[in-house]
Amino acid sequence: MKTRLVVVGNGMVGHKLLEQLADQPQFEITVLCEEPRPAYDRVHLSEFFSGKTAEDLSLVVPGFFEREGLSLKLNAKAVGIDRSAKTVQTATGETVPYDKLVLATGSYPFVPPVPGRERDGCLVYRTIEDLEAMTEWGKKSKIGVVIGGGLLGLECAKALKDMGLQTHVVEFAPRLMTVQVDDMGGRLLQRKIEALGVTVHTQKNTTEIIDGAGLGVGGRHKMMFADGSALETDMIVFSAGIRPRDELARSSGIKMGERGGIVIDNDCRTSDPNIYAIGECALWEGKIFGLVAPGYDMARVVASQLVLPSAASGRGAEGEGASSAAPLPAALTPTPLPPAGEGLQFLGADMSTKLKLLGVDVASIGDAQGVTPGSLNYLFSDEVAGHYKKLVVSADNKTLVGAVLVGEANDYGSLLQFALNAIPLPAHPEELILPAREGGKSGMGVDLLPDAAMICSCNNVSKGALCGAITEGATTMAALKKCTKAATSCGGCGPLVKQVLDAELTKAGVTVLNHLCEHFAHSRQEMFHLVKIGQLKTFDSVLLAHGKGRGCDICKPAIGSILASVWNEHVLKPKHQSVQDTNDYYLANLQKDGTYSVVPRVPGGEITPEKLIVIGRVAQHYGLYTKITGGQRIDLFGARVEQLPLIWKELVEAGFESGHAYGKALRTVKSCVGSTWCRYGVQDSVSMAIFIEERYRGLRSPHKIKMAVSGCTRECAEAQGKDVGVIATEKGWNLYVGGNGGMKPRHADLLAIDLDDATLIRYIDRFLMLYIRTGDRLQRTSTWMDNIEGGLEYVKKAVCEDSLGIAAELEVDMQKLVDTYECEWKKAINTPETLKRFRHFVNSQEPDKNIQFVDERGQIRPMSQLEKKAEASV
């Protein structure tokens, strides 16, 4: 019989356990989840305030809980355990039997026992429901205070700031993040955070919360401090640490720690051999681990223990009815199970962490405080640049035992490997944190790392696992992420993963050629710069200067696109027409039956009744099929090649332009009605969408570009699934980039928040030109973002901070393209030489007689081959 396994809690750690056991048929699993929704990503919880929804944060893949032998019960709080009867009681009165029980109850936010803490507007920061409550209170507040200056407290402060509140952080200790950084690091962190508009109050002990002067005068609440000072605010969020949710185990008599926590052994087993505990509720060797990676390790340990023959027994006495233990599915864990009869064990965890708090890089490794006996410190502080770095080394100066990085944490991955793997330090360890001198640093190459080195602690991916995946064919970052899950959770290991990839490819003798084709020994990015710097304006001149042969169907359209992106000349000029693909050659999309579709531009989706009538008349006149597209325009299908200029002429005379549906260019800028009509709208999304579309119309790029503008966070224009997405806020616009809603959906990344109109356009200019310059041939922005070295942070610094020093140049290049725009349809119908090509036969004006239609639902559609054969037989 199957083993009845009950898992109490469906947070990140509890869900990781379920993933490990998903394909184990010997279990009948019941999950008791206290919350109204299944597992979601608490690590990125603050992104809820940047526009992500509960669905976006969900960790549950579609259909996960539909599989046989797995039952999820939501709103099912466990309130008691009867260990003798082996049952769990829920708050609704249900009794759930178990053979094995796993407690993954997590933690709860600690609220100091301050009089007044129960007042309305005094909240905690833990669940999505908490965030929803914060959002509602934020709408009626001007000032917000976070009590707690630790990791979660600063994340909460970012949330309040994103809501547009005047934000304060109150911390009892003399510095922020007391666990992760030292005094010097804490001072710099405070200075940088205050420079961003957040007021920090350290060494403040809140003694009471009373009535304040009121909203707009001071605040609803008045916080009284032990030193006699006070602070008025409208909203208070407690984020002063966590405490283990151990009350369920405590009430059932399971052994507890002196200060709380469910005591576990190396197997993550409690004092009851049939009950396990994992995550923040578990106490191992007197320690609670408050990060997700150790919790994931515990989940893997319990999964390995449960599938052992002795543990995976059916109901009844231990060992009776046991089936052979199947291994965990390889796709769900990169670490193979140990030999039969040996399960994995939990032997502690590294608590090093790298974070970006309120835009400030902070990293802590190992013994950051330097308490190791005999340890020595290397310190580097650059108060001008806002960087602080500290190395803690062993007494013999040979190994790294800890580090602190504030303001710049690019070396985190390398330093972490030094500490984890006891790699000998170079002769001058200070060079690991000092700015590079002539000749560079004498730092560490990834070749020095052993295969067992843990590169991605979130998903338990070792260097050996990465190397194995690369050997089996994962030769790009995107492929490596997909098959190993490395760098897909917190993302902090991304640069190190890329170093391993590059090193392994080099070691294997693989020269990763990014040449355009056999005729050009350069990448698209290199060709772009060669064309621009060399003032090359035709394909022939480019081929003569940098290529060989005659060119091909790969390089011709690619060079044609580059020429259009740099010089913006009409693509059907005689010197350019031979390098255009079929769609660009006829300025229309070729369809399956040999006809073409015509898509006029409808900026922002706004159209007058008169223009709608024109489209209808044109469709009637030429017998075209009409379809409203997902990009808020009207597509006209079934046009023969000789009809295209005639259709364009009527549309152009009515004020329409080419919609560039045929080109690797800007397609549409979708919008909702925004504040003009909608009662939820906070900005005029239609006007902004029209402005953006008219600015970037005709812009040629490595692949098509889609944009959208939403007038509020309800996101009706689906901006977070676009290459460039804009979402209105009370204070301006949030800018998202790199989204894709197509074959490989990708949620866009938040690039910047609360931008004014001018800054928004500048950032879009820079982003698009950076993509046009560096993207590969036929590479969408989503793939570009996944593969560009440095990822989002690199793009963000280049666009928002001008880290490359080319922002002004990018803006000038974009303005030249904007200023030289002309409608390609209008240019074509006014150029007699161009019009000559629009006929089916070179030597005749006759149309193609093979194009045939049938009526369907009041419109035409192409006649199928079977229908043509049937008609011919008649």
Helix axes 539-546, 555-567, angle to 10 degrees: 110
Give percent of the chain with pLDDT exceeding 90.
65
Give percent of the chain with pLDDT exceeding 70.
93
pLDDT per position as a tens digit, 283-317: 999 999 988 989 999 999 999 999 886 554 444 33
Sign of CA dihedral 286, 289, 293, 296: positive
Half-sphere exposure of 777 (CA within 13 A, CB side): 20
- Calculate mean pLDDT across residues 598-622: 96
pTM: 0.60
pLDDT score for 299 = 96
CA 262 to chain centre: 34
Tokens linked to 720: 């977070």
pLDDT score for 331 = 32
pLDDT per position as a tens digit, 179-232: 899 999 999 999 999 988 899 999 999 999 999 988 877 889 999 999 999 999
Q: Using 50, 70 and 90 to split pLDDT, how confident is the model at 326?
A: very low
CB 456 within 8 A of CB 481: no
- 580 bridge partner residues: none
Q: Using 50, 70 and 90 to split pLDDT, how confident is the model at 48?
A: confident
- Calculate mean pLDDT across residues 136-146: 93
- Calculate mean pLDDT across residues 642-658: 96
pLDDT score for 443 = 45
Tokens linked to 727: 């979402």
pLDDT score for 46 = 81
Pairing of strands 282-283, 275-277: unpaired
pLDDT per position as a tens digit, 388-404: 999 999 999 999 999 99
Q: Give 445-496 as a DSSP string.
A: -GGGS-TT-EEETTTTEEHHHHHHHHHTT--SHHHHHHHH-TTSSS-TTHHH
777 vs 512: which has the higher pLDDT: 777
pLDDT score for 336 = 43
Q: Which residues contact 554 (CB under 8 A, 6 or more apart)?
A: 516, 517, 777
Q: Using 50, 70 and 90 to split pLDDT, how confident is the model at 45?
A: confident
pLDDT score for 236 = 97
Q: Using 50, 70 and 90 to split pLDDT, how confident is the model at 411?
A: confident
- Calculate mean pLDDT across residues 236-246: 94
pLDDT score for 557 = 92
- Calculate mean pLDDT across residues 137-149: 94
Asked if pLDDT for residue 550 goes beyond 80, the answer is: yes
CB 176 within 8 A of CB 200: yes
Q: Using 50, 70 and 90 to split pLDDT, how confident is the model at 332?
A: very low
pLDDT score for 330 = 32
Q: Which residues contact 255 (CB under 8 A, 6 or more apart)?
A: 262, 263, 270, 271
Contacts 24+ apart (CB under 8 A), 170-173: 170/145, 170/146, 170/201, 170/204, 170/206, 170/223, 170/231, 171/200, 171/201, 171/202, 171/203, 171/204, 172/203, 172/204, 172/205, 172/240, 173/149, 173/202, 173/203
Sheet containing strand 166-170, strands side by side: 122-124, 235-238, 143-147, 166-170, 198-201
- Calculate mean pLDDT across residues 107-127: 94
Residue whose C-alpha is closest to residue 93's, from 73, 112, 83, 79: 79
Q: Give 826-849 as a DSSP string.
A: HHHHT-HHHHTT-SSBTTB----T
What radius of gyration do the chain's Cα atoms show? 31
pLDDT score for 673 = 95
Give the angle 808-657-651 at the CA atoms, nearest 5°: 175
Backbone angles phi, psi at 425, to 5 degrees: -75, 155
Half-sphere exposure of 558 (CA within 13 A, CB side): 25
pLDDT score for 195 = 87
Asked if pLDDT for residue 323 goes beyond 50, the answer is: no
pLDDT score for 311 = 54
pLDDT per position as a tens digit, 773-793: 999 888 999 889 887 877 888
Asked if pLDDT for residue 79 goes beyond 50, the answer is: yes
pLDDT score for 342 = 62
431 vs 868: which has the higher pLDDT: 431
